[in-house]
Amino acid sequence: MGRFDDGQGIGTLRFSGDEANPCGFAVDPLPRRDFGFNPLRLTQWLLLAWLFVFAGHITEVGADGGSNGPAADEQNFSLRLKSVSSLTEALNRIRKEKNAGKAAEALSERIQQLTMAASELANKGEMVKGRALLDQAYEMAKVGIEQLRQGDILTHEANKDQFKIVPDREDNTTRSSFIEQHFELRLKSVQTLTDAMDRIREAKKVREETEQVSGQIHLLTREAQQLAGRGEFNKGHTLLDRAYAMAKTAIEQMRRGDTLVNEVEGHFLVTKEKRDGDDSSYGEQNFEARLKTVDALTVALDRILKEKNAGKEVQDASSQVHQYMEEARKLVGAGALDQGRNVLDKAYVIVKANIVQLRHGDVLVKILHFASAEEEYIYELDRNDTYRMLIGLLIEEAFDAMDPMIKKLIIQSAELRRQADQQGKAGHFEQAIKTLEDSTMELIKAIRGSGVNIPG
**163 within some domain:** no
Asked if residue 225 and residue 183 are part of one domain, the reply reads yes
* Per-residue pLDDT, 442: 92
Residue 349 counted as domain residue: yes
Of 186, 206, 199, the closest CA to residue 370 belongs to 199
pTM (global) more than 0.75: no
Angle between helices 312-333 and 337-360 (to 10 degrees): 160
Residues 378 and 434 grouped into a single domain: yes
Range of the domain at 425: 370-456
Please tell me whether residues 302 and 227 are part of one structural domain.
Answer: no
Q: Which residues of 229-238 are buried (b: 16+ CB within 10 A; e: fewer)?
A: eeeebebbbb
Do 224 and 138 lie in a common domain? no
Alpha-carbon gap, residue 317 to 207, rounded angstroms: 34
- The H or E element that residue 436 is part of is helix 429-449
Each of the 456 residues of the chain gets a pLDDT tens digit; together they read 444 444 444 444 444 444 444 444 444 444 444 445 555 555 555 555 554 444 443 333 343 334 445 666 677 777 778 778 878 887 888 788 777 766 677 778 878 888 888 888 888 888 777 777 787 787 777 777 766 665 533 323 223 333 333 333 334 454 456 567 767 877 877 877 777 777 766 666 655 556 667 777 888 888 888 888 888 887 887 788 778 777 776 776 665 554 333 333 433 333 333 333 444 555 666 777 777 777 777 777 777 777 766 667 667 778 888 888 899 889 888 888 888 887 887 787 777 667 655 654 433 333 345 667 887 787 788 778 767 766 765 665 566 677 888 889 989 999 999 999 999 989 899 999 999 999 989 988 888 887 766 655
Question: 14 by DSSP, 3-state: which?
Answer: strand
> Is residue 160 one of the residues assigned to a domain?
no
Residues 86, 54 share a domain: no
- 120 domain residue, yes or no: yes
Domain count across the chain: 5
CB atoms inside a 10 Å sphere around CB 285: 17
Strand-pairing partners, residue 4, are: 11
The pLDDT of residue 54 is 44
Rounded to 5 degrees, what angle do the CA atoms 431, 435, 439 make?
170
**161 belongs to a structural domain:** no
Spatial neighbors of 343 by CB under 8 A, at least 6 apart, are 324, 327, 328, 331
Residues 227 and 283 in one domain: no
Judged on CB neighbours under 10 Å (0-12, 13-18, 19+), 22 is: exposed
Last residue of a domain, one of 64, 85, 118: 64
Q: Is residue 159 part of a domain?
A: no
158 in any annotated domain: no
Give the end of a domain, one of 64, 79, 113: 64
Nearby residues of 243 by Cβ (< 8 Å), 6 or more positions away:
190, 194, 216, 217, 220, 221, 224
